[in-house]
Structure 1
Amino acid sequence: MRVLLSTRGSRGDVEPMAALAVQLLGLGAEVRVCAPPDEEFAAVLARAGVPLVPVGPTARSMVKGPKRFRSADMAQRVADMVAETYDTVTEAASEGCDVVVATGMFPAVAGARAAAEKLGTRYVYTCFQPTMLPSPHHPPFEYPSHPHPAGVTDNRVLWDLDIQHMNALFGGPVNAHRASAGLPPVDNFRDHLLTDHPWLATDPLLSPWVLPADLDVVQTGAWILPDERPLPADLEAFLDAGPPPVYVGFGSMPMAAAEDVARVAVEAVRAHGHRVLLARGWADLSLVDDAADCFAVGEVNQQALFRRVAAVVHHGGAGTMTTAARAGAPQVVVPQMVDQPYYAGRVAALGIGVAHDGPVPTVASLSAALGTALEAGTRARAAEVAGEVRSDGAMAAAKLLFEGVSSE
């Protein structure tokens, strides 16, 4: 079986695809992964034993610097992303590909689906958070240019409006490209991409799909890429030099006023008498002084690291939240966008940490959240939940792909 995996987004979109690739390779499939040409993404896929098929500009350049995605040039960026993904997936899947699995930013998914249509190849949409999928149990996330109408709280109404919003944002460029490729137009952009049977690659406990629902969703469990890399020697030395520190990192979030965020985090953690482990990430967080109680890290094995920290302060990405939960580390989630408020709410609902109120922490607000996260009861609950999180989601998905191809 030949499988093409396509994604455009952050590390949280690429690493699960790498996890799926590992399981597919183990079952004897041939796998290719189309993703942005960021060096860290290539490194993740190299660990999975799959080469990167580059598509478009780097993901980092789309959120930082002069080429970042702006609403003013939305139509052109959407058109470019659709075309780039279509061309790359078409070429990568042209020689006997059995299935295209797509996720990430919607214009890229549209390009991948169009390529699958043109080639006559099976297409599967997957996502890593329930809030991407229509449900009466939660609202869609808001686009900055299309906020929810004041006073409207019925989730079904909001999801109906979501179709209109997505058509307005993406439908024109997508249908223009489809016409150029000899494909028919679509009048419901969202449901065309999601299909009637989307896949949800999240843990059923941490991030459940709530029934009853209108969509026939296949929840596979989270796709987790095992990480056996040792921690760097200088980090090991810091960890061994004192009690477990509090980890603070915001992953692929650029974070405005990063210097202030770092200062707030360090002061809030120190207020509780803990050492600080600051992750640089795409915000480029850096140490605020040269005191021995703080240490900064770059790319690192979080699966190993989170088992050795007192708490994890993060942005609420699905991957970071799941990794911290599997490690039994209490969490403080400072959500920035899209699905992150949802994951902040799940952390709070499960009792394994705290949802910070809003995206901009102060010393007082973060210190208060840490006060709860560092309580013995929170750590005990986090340890309990850690034992219940599944790790077989990628294997379940790989088997489903094989079953789907064999039944055709």
Structure 2
Amino acid sequence: MNAESSHDDPPPAYTEIDGRINIDLDSRLSRQLANLVPEPPAYSSHSEPKKALISSKSWKIRLDIIIQVVGSRGDVQPFITLGQELQSYGHRVRIATHDSFAAFVGESNLEFFPIGGDPHDLMTYMVKNPGLIPSMSSLRAGDIRRKRAMVGEMLNGCWKSCIESAPGHGRPFVADAVIANPPSFAHIHCAQALGVPLHLMFTMPWSSTRHFPHPLANLSRAQLDPGAMNFVSYMIVEWMTWQGLGDVINAFRAKLDLERIPTTVGPNLAEMLEIPFTYCWWPSLVLRVSDVCGFFFREPPRYSPPTEIEKFLEVGPEPIYIGFGSIVLDDPAAMTKLILEAVRTAGVRAIVSRGRSKLGSALASDDFDANIVLFIEDCPHEWLFQHVSVVVHHGGAGTTACGLRNACPTIIVPFFGDMVAAAGAGAYPIPHKSMTADKLDTAIKFCLQPTVASAVAQMSATKSTEDGVQAAARSFHANLPSNTFTCDILYDRPAVWLFSNKRPSLKLSTLAAQALIKGGKLKAKDLTVFQSKPVQISNQRWDPLTRIGSWGLSNARNMGTAAVDMVSSPYTAIKQAAPGDSATKTTNKAFANIGKNFGKFNGRLFQGMTVDLALAAAEGLRAVPKLYGEEVKSHGEVTDVASGFSVAGKSFMHGMADGVTGLYSQPVQGAKEEDALGFAKGAGKGIIGLATKTTSAAIGMVAYPGQGITKSLIAPFKSTTRKAITAQRFLEELRKRLQRLFEFRQRRAGALESEEMRVFGNFWSVDDLLDHRVGQLRFLRLE
């Protein structure tokens, strides 16, 4: 291998799974999905975050931001850097992650909220089960049940992190925006329940693209367009993940009073909702993905190396670095032996990080030369990589970034898929299950070539000055709905309440709402929770057969669940009876449960056979023109009775009009494109359109109002989450006001009264405040 070939030749195909899902692209499912791949959009070789001029000086609205992260320390660290950057905008930032990172987050002057879950157990599971597909040993050991239980625990922890005070701290918190990495899973559902914006950020490619496959996908050779193959890999990986966790996620959504997500929608939910996505790497490494902002570099920590490291660096030439971080190896002793042999053969010195697998711990002092190999515990990469020539690691984004920033050629041993393709920055990846001493020796020698070192040094010099975390913060703010986000009275606060008794309606922050309530200008019951970014999830289908088929399966499941509940409810009542309960009381509870579940059974039967069936037919027929490339108009989402009748009216008018005019317009359009043959095709499309569009329009006159009535009837019974958010909103603002009043009195007591504080004192009376014009309320911005 030489430096020139590393740039021009494609990387070798992986022959082992190595944490990836093997996808047979010749399968029937893969080929069907390939037909749904959209045409490649126009792109530029450099992606820039939107509206890059947004800065901490120009942004005025101060938010409570929750950042949810699931993963290892390397996954958490970039988001700590981002949190510190967001604090410079005046935001309150909370990091929600695993309990084991409490001290790590606390040291960064950020709030911490524990969500449960053990990153060590998650990493162990993924190494034992390549491609996320459980092995027989994992099934026998009960790993699947424990992993699902862990995910359920983390989902609940993520929701609590959005609306509860952190353990040990009394300060209330309600998230105004959510930032998350994709493996946290709860992000979309928390944002939907709160009605706030969501922004996903990650260190690996995770949104569908034609330019490279999903990082967890190992594609087979197939007679398909390479771009379509790559695009399909994202669909399949997400689909397989949903199969394992979809029921856990839907159970979590039920706790948040959210509707169930169908299997056909869940895997592609983030892209369907067009959630903004920012990626954290240099654009020169992975191109053609939107909003690539650069790596998140933190300020180098203060560090004094132990004496053993200083001495090792002094006694010989610059060593290489080898470490696999939090990865759990099946056989650490064998990996240690392999490393020692490769280092000896390559004729280099090495610093080896013991990591989670405790490499080298079984060695005796005479098993290796202490002047050639040094085993160390944790050491900041920012410091260490200034003193090594090559880095060998597992492909984590943080380690990759730090190595490249310090101009160190890189050898990646991918465990769950590497994010760096051959870009002149080092040797090709070596899957860890196929790694040998000879392969590692060859890769080390390749990285030590002057041409490779020069290429990496040039990349480092041109890119190390870029500030990825600042670009990510700008991208986050640029994607906020700033036009609807602001309180109509206090312009530096987010709107969280809607006063709709006035036309036009008034968006209010909690402080403004409380002032108006205390002044008698409105009543608390007149306020509803304002959703700055409402989310409506619809069950999209491609044709009547799939739509009605899905209805049948869903209806059967709902009926079955209700029937089981009806039969089991008496036994539940008996099992839950208190020791002192009489037989009569227990029997009454049992019969009450039977009656309750009998009513639920009949309700689901009625809804399924009337509203849901009609809706499935109307939506399925309306989607038929998509099958031959015609765009289908959107008439909005049904959320209540009024919107149900509105959608029905629009659907009827457009359906009837388009169905009739299509008899003429489709043949004419076809004739322009393909002459006589096109005319015949267009005539067929027009006839099909007339039948499906008009029938859908007619059925929709019943289906959409029925859907709206159903949602309006159910809404009052699904208000637990809404009430919890309401209570926390007022509690949060009450604490802020008490804090301001306390600080005000402290300043006055200390004779530190400023002009601004005198104004605050003169107008502290709510009645006085309300007598002034809206613009004069801005002096309340004192926090």
Question: 2:441 — aligned with what?
Answer: 367
Question: 1:299 — aligned with what?
Answer: 378
Aligned counterpart in structure 1 of residue 105 of structure 2, from 41, 45, 52: 45
Distance in 1, Cα, partners of 2:230 & 2:192:
31
Q: For residues 205-231 of structure 1, what are the alpha-carbon distances to aligned partners after superposition, in whole Å with 9 as ceiling and x for unaligned?
A: 123334xxxxxx322222222223224
**CA shift at 1:75, angstroms?**
4.0
- Superposition map of 1:142-153 within 5 A: 142=216, 151=222
Aligned counterpart in structure 2 of residue 198 of structure 1, from 255, 260, 277: 277
**CA shift at 1:86, angstroms?**
2.3
Identity rate of aligned residues, in percent?
25
Aligned counterpart in structure 1 of residue 410 of structure 2, from 331, 348, 352: 331
**CA shift at 1:204, angstroms?**
1.0
**CA shift at 1:142, angstroms?**
4.2
Q: For residues 310-360 of structure 1, what are the alpha-carbon distances to aligned partners after superposition, in whole Å with 9 as ceiling and x for unaligned?
A: 2111111111111111110111111111x32x42xx2xx211211243213
Question: 1:227 — aligned with what?
Answer: 300
Distance in 1, Cα, partners of 2:364 & 2:449:
28
Contact 2:66–2:161 at 8 Å: present in 1 too? no
- Superposition map of 1:309-320 within 5 A: 309-320=388-399
**CA shift at 1:45, angstroms?**
2.2
**CA shift at 1:47, angstroms?**
4.2
**CA shift at 1:122, angstroms?**
1.6
**CA shift at 1:201, angstroms?**
2.0
Q: Does 1:115 align with 2:190?
A: yes
Q: Does 1:31 align with 2:93?
A: yes
Distance in 2, Cα, partners of 1:308 & 1:314:
16
- Code of the residue aligned with 2:266 in structure 1: it is F
Question: 2:291 — aligned with what?
Answer: 218
Q: Secondary structure at the match of 2:247?
A: helix
Distance in 1, Cα, partners of 2:116 & 2:269:
23
Q: For residues 371-395 of structure 1, what are the alpha-carbon distances to aligned partners after superposition, in whole Å with 9 as ceiling and x for unaligned?
A: 1011111111111111122541111
Q: For residues 187-215 of structure 1, what are the alpha-carbon distances to aligned partners after superposition, in whole Å with 9 as ceiling and x for unaligned?
A: 322332354122222221123334xxxxx
Calculate the TM-score normalised by the size of structure 1: 0.86
**CA shift at 1:46, angstroms?**
3.5
Question: 2:212 — aligned with what?
Answer: 138
Distance in 1, Cα, partners of 2:259 & 2:251:
10
Distance in 2, Cα, partners of 1:113 & 1:286:
43
Question: 2:70 — aligned with what?
Answer: 8
- Code of the residue aligned with 1:54 in structure 2: it is P
**CA shift at 1:79, angstroms?**
3.0
- Code of the residue aligned with 1:191 in structure 2: it is N
Question: 2:169 — aligned with what?
Answer: none
**CA shift at 1:72, angstroms?**
2.9
Contact 1:87–1:115 at 8 Å: present in 2 too? no
- Code of the residue aligned with 2:323 in structure 1: it is G
Q: Does 1:59 align with 2:119?
A: yes
**CA shift at 1:116, angstroms?**
2.2
Q: Does 1:102 align with 2:180?
A: yes
Aligned counterpart in structure 2 of residue 167 of structure 1, from 234, 242, 265: 242
Question: Following superposition, which runs of at least 4 residues in structure 1 exceed 4 angstroms of deviation?
Answer: 68-71, 147-150
- Code of the residue aligned with 1:3 in structure 2: it is I
Q: For residues 252-288 of structure 1, what are the alpha-carbon distances to aligned partners after superposition, in whole Å with 9 as ceiling and x for unaligned?
A: 1112211111121122112222211010111211264
Contact 1:5–1:31 at 8 Å: present in 2 too? yes
Distance in 2, Cα, partners of 1:152 & 1:320:
37
Distance in 1, Cα, partners of 2:232 & 2:321:
40
Q: Does 1:91 align with 2:164?
A: yes
Q: Secondary structure at the match of 2:65?
A: strand
**CA shift at 1:405, angstroms?**
6.2
Contact 1:167–1:190 at 8 Å: present in 2 too? yes
**CA shift at 1:44, angstroms?**
3.5
Contact 2:162–2:175 at 8 Å: present in 1 too? no
Calculate the TM-score normalised by the size of structure 2: 0.46
Q: Secondary structure at the match of 2:457?
A: helix
Residue segments in structure 1 that go unaligned for 5+ positions in a row: 211-216
Contact 1:206–1:389 at 8 Å: present in 2 too? no
Q: Secondary structure at the match of 1:278?
A: strand
The alpha-carbon distance between structure 1 residues 226 and 398, as it changes in their structure 2 partners (threshold 3 A), is same
**CA shift at 1:306, angstroms?**
0.9
Question: 2:144 — aligned with what?
Answer: 72
Q: For residues 96-155 of structure 1, what are the alpha-carbon distances to aligned partners after superposition, in whole Å with 9 as ceiling and x for unaligned?
A: 4321101152xx32x23322222222211111112x111111222447xxx767747522
Distance in 2, Cα, partners of 1:232 & 1:289:
24
How many residue pairs are counted as aligned between the two chains? 385
Distance in 2, Cα, partners of 1:300 & 1:380:
26
Deviates more, 1:299-308 or 1:201-210: 201-210
- Superposition map of 1:205-354 within 5 A: 205-210=284-289, 217-234=290-307, 235-286=309-360, 288-290=363-365, 291-292=369-370, 293-337=372-416, 339-340=417-418, 342-343=419-420, 346=421, 349-354=422-427
Distance in 2, Cα, partners of 1:81 & 1:371:
44
- Code of the residue aligned with 2:412 in structure 1: it is V
- Code of the residue aligned with 1:323 in structure 2: it is C
The alpha-carbon distance between structure 1 residues 159 and 373, as it changes in their structure 2 partners (threshold 3 A), is same
**CA shift at 1:366, angstroms?**
0.8
**CA shift at 1:296, angstroms?**
1.6
Q: Secondary structure at the match of 2:462?
A: coil
Deviates more, 1:350-359 or 1:85-94: 85-94
Q: Secondary structure at the match of 2:339?
A: helix
Question: 2:261 — aligned with what?
Answer: 186
Question: 1:213 — aligned with what?
Answer: none
Structure with the bigger percentage of helix: 2
Higher RCO, 1 or 2 (CA under 8 Å, sep at least 6)?
1
Contact 1:6–1:35 at 8 Å: present in 2 too? yes
Residue segments in structure 2 that go unaligned for 5+ positions in a row: 1-61, 130-137, 167-171, 486-783
Contact 2:201–2:280 at 8 Å: present in 1 too? yes
**CA shift at 1:54, angstroms?**
1.3
Distance in 1, Cα, partners of 2:118 & 2:236:
32
Q: Does 1:20 align with 2:82?
A: yes
The alignment yields a C-alpha RMSD, in angstroms, of: 2.5
- Code of the residue aligned with 1:182 in structure 2: it is D
